[in-house]
């Protein structure tokens, strides 16, 4: 008698179990703004990894890039994120390139709940155009830079435990989507 093969079960949706929540995604996706609001909703501390890097280095990210280069910055970024992921529940916003680093990505995936805030390039261009503090955009066409970054980084961001759309809507909608995705 022939038996039909077992129907594969879809993978279980990750649930938040109190580990640090790490927001990843391209610049302008809303990681800091959404992160602050998510932390408030969950009653947790919020940490912006970029601010922690600046504090540890005693200089701005733009100055670190200009003086030491991106490789030096990424190494410091990895060390700061490693320190922040200490097992205690909190919400951490990372810089857009943090999850691209193999070691940083492996650490986040093993010791935290990674959530990719995925936004269309058009939304990102509008958001990043409000400030001139992004070293990767200086003197370049933001739309082209973001399209190029998305082509390289989105497949890596897709490895995050959860993906939440971050569109042209109030950030509280994104926060509610994250709350639903983590079972809260």
Binding-site positions for Mg(2+) read 32
Read off the tokens for 122: 């058009």
Give the DSSP H or E segment for 69: none
| Residues in binding site for substrate | 50, 74, 96, 153
How far is the C-alpha of 91 from the C-alpha of 51, rounded, in Å? 14
d(CA 125, CA 144): 9
Q: Which residues contact 12 (CB under 8 A, 6 or more apart)?
A: none
Burial of 85 (0-12, 13-18, 19+ CB in 10 A): buried
The total number of residues shown for the chain amounts to 184
> For the chain, how are helix, strand and coil distributed in percent, rounded to 5?
50, 10, 35
Q: Which residues are annotated as a binding site?
A: 28-33, 50, 74, 96, 134, 153
Report the binding-site residues for ATP. 28-33, 134
């Amino acid at each position: 008698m022939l038996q039909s093969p077992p129907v594969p079960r879809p993978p279980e949706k990750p649930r938040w179990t109190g580990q640090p929540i790490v927001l990843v995604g391209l610049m302008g996706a809303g990681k800091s703004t959404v992160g602050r609001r998510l932390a408030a909703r969950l009653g947790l501390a919020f940490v912006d990894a970029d601010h922690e890097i600046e504090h540890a280095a005693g200089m701005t990210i733009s100055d670190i890039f200009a003086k030491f280069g991106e490789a030096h910055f990424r190494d410091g970024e990895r060390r700061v994120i490693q320190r922040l992921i200490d097992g205690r529940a909190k919400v951490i916003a990372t810089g857009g390139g943090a999850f691209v680093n193999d070691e940083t990505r492996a650490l986040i995936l093993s010791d935290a709940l990674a959530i990719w805030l995925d936004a269309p390039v058009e939304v990102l261009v509008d958001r990043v155009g409000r400030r001139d503090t992004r070293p990767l955009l200086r003197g370049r066409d933001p739309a082209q830079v973001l399209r190029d970054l998305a082509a390289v980084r989105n497949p890596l961001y897709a490895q995050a435990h959860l993906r939440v759309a971050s569109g042209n809507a109030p950030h509280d909608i994104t926060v509610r989507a994250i709350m639903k995705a983590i079972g809260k």
